[in-house]
Amino acid sequence: MNTDSADLPFTGGEAQPNRRAEERVPARFEVHFSQTEDAAKALRAYSLNISSGGLCLRTRRAYDVGAPVRLELHVNGELFKLQGVVAWVRDESEAVGVRFTKLTEDDRTRLQSLIDSLKR
């Protein structure tokens, strides 16, 4: 089992440090994988929270830390096509943390607008 991060609520023991630079907000929406092989294996993936730097997904597909992923998010009428890398995996809760890579300034601005709207 892999539990290397504090991105999900901690269920006991000492609190783990928050290593994120960007504010993360709770958000649930369906996430699609751009790679056909990932789309077939993922079944359904849903976000648990998001920031302008990454997101937490719940999925039954196993990922390795460091694996590249391409995601499509349809949220509030907007389409986001994003690349990322798996930053952490929590097998027991079927959760994966994705850190966005190669974000354009436009994508970062759009993501921040989305996050601001979710906070309301």
Give pLDDT tens digits for 52-89. Answer: 999 999 988 888 999 999 999 988 888 999 999 999 99
**pTM summary value:** 0.76
CA angle 107-110-113, nearest 5°?
A: 150
Residue 108 lies in a domain: yes
Range of the domain at 79: 25-119
Residue 100 lies in a domain: yes
Nearest to 84, CA basis, from 40, 47, 29, 41: 47
Residue 50 lies in a domain: yes
> From CA 107, how far away is CA 82, in angstroms rounded?
8
- Mean pLDDT across the chain: 80
Q: Name the least confident of 33-37, 82-86, 116-120.
A: 33-37
Number of compact structural domains in the chain: 1
Helices (H), the chain: 36-42, 105-119
Residue 107 lies in a domain: yes
Residue 8 lies in a domain: no
| CATH code assigned at 34 | 2.40.10.220
